[in-house]
Structure 1
Amino acid sequence: MSPHEFQRLIAGVTGRLAGRPLDGRLAAWLNDAYPVDGATYRDLANACRTGVAEGWLCNREGGGIRYGRIFKPLPETHGFSVDVVEMRDIAGPHHVHPHGEIDLIMPLTEGATFDGHPAGWCVYGPGSAHRPTVANGEALVLYLLPQGAIEFTAA
């Protein structure tokens, strides 16, 4: 797996997301189309683990969180930026999603959750905000941000 191959893998998903509203229906669709026991989820999770091990994902660290933006919004990723974070029993910095956020949760510890969600997909709509939290162990989380938009806040 290389960053270029990873980009192609992501593009297979983002190509089907382009133009869809970011809402609960999208989360349900993602979990049906790319279930935790399916090939795409497995391939994405394996690619993320490989990228972290090889140092081209999560190549920064701050406040106990490893993170990194692997791709800015590109035509190849259909206008989504791609970030991956590695967190263990921690809450990250509060932020707002001006255009929404799509998350793929990949527990590294069985039973680990992200904002209370188990392995799989969750979607935050435009204007939503949170303090991303991993509980019950360690997880990788892949973030897709339309137009790369995120606003960190003091809240």
Structure 2
Amino acid sequence: MSLEAFRTEIAAVTADIAAELAGRQPDAALDAWLNARHGAGSATFERLSALCRSGVAEGWLCQREGGGIRYGRVFKPDAELHQHSVDVVDMTDIAGPHHSHPNGEIDLIMPIDPEARFDGRPAGWLVCPPGSAHQPTVSGGRALVLYLLPEGRIEFTR
């Protein structure tokens, strides 16, 4: 597995997202569409999950650690990624720092432990609309979470 293969896969997903959104903001409809098209058990989900697991094991993902969370920005927003930044976190039964999403946030939840949940959600996608905020929390074990941030925008609460 490689960073290049990961970028190629992410570019395909962000192209699909951009086409589906067609000028509107991330919302509940995108959440449902992503889970139906690229959700748990789909080929896309399996490829991204395998790439993320491999990236963590090989050390090219989640290269930083703070407060019990391994994390890292993998790619900054650019045209190939349809202006989404890409971050991956590795969390086990922990709440991360509270933050808001000026342009929304699109998350792929990949449980390592079968019962792991991210903000109460199992394997699959979670779309947070623009202006939303949360304290990202993994419960029930360990999970990897891939974050797509439109224009890379995130605001951490002080």
* TM-score under structure 1 length normalisation: 0.97
Residues of 1 paired with 2:113 and 2:84: CA distance?
28
Offset at residue 4 of structure 1 (A): 1.2
Name the counterpart of 1:131: 135
Name the counterpart of 1:32: 36
Equivalent AA in structure 1 for residue 16 of structure 2: R
**Structure 1: 4+ residue segments shifted above 3 A:** none
* Residue among 77, 85, 100 paired with 2:81: 77
Q: Deviations over 1:29-48 (max 9, x none)?
A: 00000121111100000000
Report the count of equivalent residues. 154
Name the counterpart of 2:6: 6
Query: Once the two structures are aligned, what percentage of the paired residues are identical?
Result: 62
Gaps of 5+ in 2: none
Residues of 2 paired with 1:36 and 1:92: CA distance?
23
- Give RMSD over aligned pairs: 0.8
* Residue among 39, 44, 47 paired with 2:48: 44
Residues of 2 paired with 1:78 and 1:64: CA distance?
31
Residues of 1 paired with 2:52 and 2:91: CA distance?
13
Give the secondary-structure state (helix, strand or coil) at the position aligned to 2:60. coil
**1:1-155 matched pairs, under 5 angstroms:** 1-18=1-18, 20=21, 21-154=25-158
Equivalent AA in structure 2 for residue 60 of structure 1: R
Residues of 2 paired with 1:17 and 1:39: CA distance?
16
Offset at residue 17 of structure 1 (A): 1.2
Offset at residue 96 of structure 1 (A): 0.6
Residues of 2 paired with 1:54 and 1:44: CA distance?
15
Give the secondary-structure state (helix, strand or coil) at the position aligned to 1:16. helix
Give the secondary-structure state (helix, strand or coil) at the position aligned to 1:30. helix
Offset at residue 87 of structure 1 (A): 0.2
Offset at residue 140 of structure 1 (A): 0.1
Equivalent AA in structure 1 for residue 57 of structure 2: A
Gaps of 5+ in 1: none
Residues of 1 paired with 2:39 and 2:77: CA distance?
25
